Structure 1
Amino acid sequence: MAEPTAGPTPVREQGPERLRLLAVHAHPDDESSKGAATTARYAAEGVDVLVATCTGGERGDILNPSFGQGPQDVEGMRALRREEMAAAARALGVRQQWIGFVDSGLPEGDPLPPLPEGSFGLVPLEEAAAPLVELVREFRPHVVTTYDPSGGYPHPDHVMCHRVAYEAFHAAGDPERYRRDGGAAPWSPLKLYYNHDFSMNRIRTLHEAMQGAGLESPFGDWVESRSAREIPEREVTTRVEVARYYPQRDAALVAHASQIDPEGFFFAIPRDLEAQVWPFEEYELAESRVPTELPEDDLFAGVRELVATGSGSAA
């Protein structure tokens, strides 16, 4: 069951309409490793960017070896990760809203153990999607981003995050669905995108650039592994130029100090090399309710004109 959302409550804009982007993520830190430079760019350009975080990340482990022991209980970890999330949002220049579900963790073993009772991955879809539908109706985003149907990788919370974002994108504009007394009016976002930050094309490109520069690549085992070759390459429709916002992305990553090692994987590529060979973040346009021509270089392609004329929703 979702807890009441915390953080600032989105409000309706007054005066000239402002572009709005909703990025839906599974855990705190996902917003800093997936599409972070894009949200930093749009926020800097005046877009109202809101990150929706489905779970509190309370079952996450301490992944930064230099962090220390950290909290030993769920409540302590939840509080720590809320502090880290607030710092990351400040680094990106975005707003953030908790959806309120409990992290499923990542059970491992053979046979695979069940998910913990009450965790996000086990919540019925309509119950899990309801608070996000209401958030869409309150915030009224023109564009929504989330993960592809695989979750980007097979974490149960990432798969569920896709499911609830997909459901909210389709249901929020229907007045007959998710009806709630006193709730916000229906709103239909105009475009839905899937993040592609961990595509094998990106990994191979960075790996080869490191080798070409005579540097040790952190991706060697990944590129050569059988599991990597089995990762399907999804269609890329949209590349957003974001290299100048890599510092904001990196600051947001570092803000998640319990999870991100500043000497680790995410920082192994020299930033000047990354900006040279991969100066963008990639997306897959899953659905659009406005005409647009592919490929794109802007998540708001086809939307800006409608908003400028006061027709910002397909509702």
Structure 2
Amino acid sequence: MKTMITTPDGQPRRTLVAFHAHPDDEALLTSGTMAKAAAQGHRVVLVVATDGALGLAGSEYGTADELAARRWDEVSASARGLGVARLETLGYADSGMGPQVFPDPPGKRRFVTVPVEEAAEALAVILREEDADVLVTYDAAGGYGHRDHVRVHEVGARAAELAGTPRVLEATAPRDLLVRALHLVARFYRFPDDFDMAGFERAYSARKDITHRVNVLRQAGAKRASMAAHASQASADGDADRTLAAFLRIPRPLYDIVFGREWFRDPAHVGPVSHDIFAGLTEHEDRAE
């Protein structure tokens, strides 16, 4: 006879798999939700698609290979702080930002050059192993449009189909609220010169399309620590500044206001906005052993 696995408060234990493009992507949009789920007794798995070797960083972080190794250490530290039970990488090379198309590095393939079906099957293997209840990916625009983020959306959607994962949540943000919050922050702190405020006005999702809003105020400390773990992505040469560094300079009361909620879109969701990413999963989807 199978015994139901439950959380400390007697609820069915679920498994959340968060799928991200690069080390550090988990910190901004989903770290609070991941920490909240782990604290409630659910199993949290983090899967990173690429090595992050083309991430912007100060020259002290060395070559692309050295930066990739450092970023794996950083995401490992972030995952430990969030209560992640399993950390995996699909092992693809970072595809980079902007119009430049980078050739594949020796022995690897850029994530965007890998067929969706192939990458999706690699992720589906993990989803099946974990009997995942919820998969977190990105919205169709990849949030702010990074090519690897768009591919995470495509690969994640297909992997969920292959593995029969009951729920796919697209990590996003209501763009109107996000822009208002950024303008508020800009009254007190100067963003880097390359910070594209107009880009955020076109990014993420309209508020009407948000289906899940998660209160992560109690996880604000864990979220901030997750951001801080990615020191390479807060670094720059000379007097340049990075967006992550600017976020980390925001004092806690204001930081909690700006980052105290996380938002998701479930294309299959019907009804009012939900505050629980596991709500409504039916009994036959409960995990058992």
Do residues 299 (structure 1) and 274 (structure 2) align?
no
After superposition, the Cα gap between the structure-2 partners of 1:311 and 1:273, relative to the gap in structure 1 and judged at 3 Å, is same
- Counterpart Cα distance in 1 of 2:168 and 2:51: 24
Query: TM-score under structure 2 normalisation?
Result: 0.81
- Counterpart Cα distance in 1 of 2:3 and 2:41: 15
| Secondary structure of residue in 1 paired with 2:256 | helix
Q: Which residue among 261, 266, 278 is the counterpart of 1:285?
A: 266
Q: Which residue among 216, 223, 226 is the counterpart of 1:249?
A: 223
Specify the code of the residue in structure 1 equivalent to 2:75. M
- Give the equivalent residue in structure 1 for 2:102: 115
- Give the equivalent residue in structure 2 for 1:78: 68
Query: TM-score under structure 1 normalisation?
Result: 0.75
1:27–1:103 CA contact under 8 A, matched in 2: yes
| Secondary structure of residue in 2 paired with 1:53 | strand
Do residues 49 (structure 1) and 24 (structure 2) align?
no
| Secondary structure of residue in 2 paired with 1:301 | coil
2:175–2:202 CA contact under 8 A, matched in 1: no
- Counterpart Cα distance in 2 of 1:215 and 1:229: 20
After superposition, the Cα gap between the structure-2 partners of 1:296 and 1:122, relative to the gap in structure 1 and judged at 3 Å, is same
Do residues 233 (structure 1) and 209 (structure 2) align?
no
- Aligned CA RMSD, in angstroms, stands at 2.7
- Counterpart Cα distance in 1 of 2:39 and 2:134: 17
Specify the code of the residue in structure 1 equivalent to 2:165. P
Q: CA deviation at 1:298?
A: 0.6
> Once the two structures are aligned, what percentage of the paired residues are identical?
31
Deviations 1:19-72 (A, max 9, x none): 11011100111111221111011111101010110111122231xx5xx61122
Do residues 258 (structure 1) and 225 (structure 2) align?
no
Q: Which residue among 18, 22, 28 is the counterpart of 2:17?
A: 22
Specify the code of the residue in structure 1 equivalent to 2:101. P
Bigger mean CA deviation after superposition, 227-236 or 117-126: 227-236
After superposition, the Cα gap between the structure-2 partners of 1:78 and 1:52, relative to the gap in structure 1 and judged at 3 Å, is same
- Counterpart Cα distance in 2 of 1:249 and 1:155: 22
1:43–1:93 CA contact under 8 A, matched in 2: yes
| Secondary structure of residue in 1 paired with 2:231 | coil
More helix by share: 2
Q: What 5-or-longer segments of structure 1 have no aligned partner? A: 1-12, 173-187
Q: CA deviation at 1:283?
A: 1.0
Q: CA deviation at 1:114?
A: 2.5
Q: CA deviation at 1:244?
A: 1.3
After superposition, the Cα gap between the structure-2 partners of 1:114 and 1:73, relative to the gap in structure 1 and judged at 3 Å, is closer
2:13–2:286 CA contact under 8 A, matched in 1: no
| Secondary structure of residue in 2 paired with 1:193 | strand
Deviations 1:60-98 (A, max 9, x none): 231xx5xx6112242x22221111111111111113111
Do residues 90 (structure 1) and 64 (structure 2) align?
no
Q: Which residue among 84, 94, 102 is the counterpart of 2:93?
A: 102
Do residues 267 (structure 1) and 282 (structure 2) align?
no
| Secondary structure of residue in 1 paired with 2:170 | strand
Specify the code of the residue in structure 1 equivalent to 2:205. E
- Counterpart Cα distance in 1 of 2:201 and 2:79: 34
2:14–2:132 CA contact under 8 A, matched in 1: yes
- Counterpart Cα distance in 1 of 2:228 and 2:25: 12
- Counterpart Cα distance in 2 of 1:130 and 1:85: 23
Q: CA deviation at 1:129?
A: 1.2
Deviations 1:156-210 (A, max 9, x none): 21111111100011121xxxxxxxxxxxxxxx2221111114x432333324544
After superposition, the Cα gap between the structure-2 partners of 1:210 and 1:265, relative to the gap in structure 1 and judged at 3 Å, is closer
Specify the code of the residue in structure 2 equivalent to 1:87. A
Specify the code of the residue in structure 1 equivalent to 2:118. E
- Give the equivalent residue in structure 1 for 2:33: 38
Q: CA deviation at 1:293?
A: 3.5
Q: What 5-or-longer segments of structure 2 have no aligned partner? A: 6-11, 236-241
Q: CA deviation at 1:116?
A: 2.0
Return the index of the structure with the highest Cα Rg.
1
- Counterpart Cα distance in 2 of 1:246 and 1:122: 36
- Give the equivalent residue in structure 2 for 1:190: 166
Q: CA deviation at 1:14?
A: 7.1
Kindly tell me the number of residue pairs found equivalent between the two proteins.
265
